[in-house]
Amino acid sequence: MSNLKELISQALDQQQGQGGGHISAMRALLAKIEREHGREVIRQLRPVGFKMIFAAVHPDLVGKVGNSHEFACQLNAYKNSHGFQYDKVNKIWIDTRAK
């Protein structure tokens, strides 16, 4: 029985070791896009476009991303924490720092 617990523990350690990297790479890529191309590009960026850019820049990491929902979550979290607000009525992102 202890061998089974040991095997499970090793498998979990391997999974945790393999799982990292793609989230921090997504955040770094969004920061780089904003730095090099401006806030307006981030404001207009949609999850599908972000996924395409990420796949082009990090083809080795795109397989680690679970699904497209993860791109939307990371993009929306980045926008929310960097001065953008979503207007639910008009369905657009507003740059609150531009005023």
pLDDT in tens, 15-60: 444 556 888 999 999 999 999 999 999 999 999 999 999 999 999 8
Which residue did the predictor score with more confidence, 13 or 61?
61
Quick one: which of 82, 78, 36 has its CA closest to 57?
A: 36
Q: Name 93's bridge partners.
A: 86
Quick one: which of 43, 84, 47, 89 has its CA closest to 67?
A: 47
- pTM for this model (two decimals): 0.76
Domain boundaries, the chain: 22-98
Q: Is pLDDT of 8 > 90?
A: no
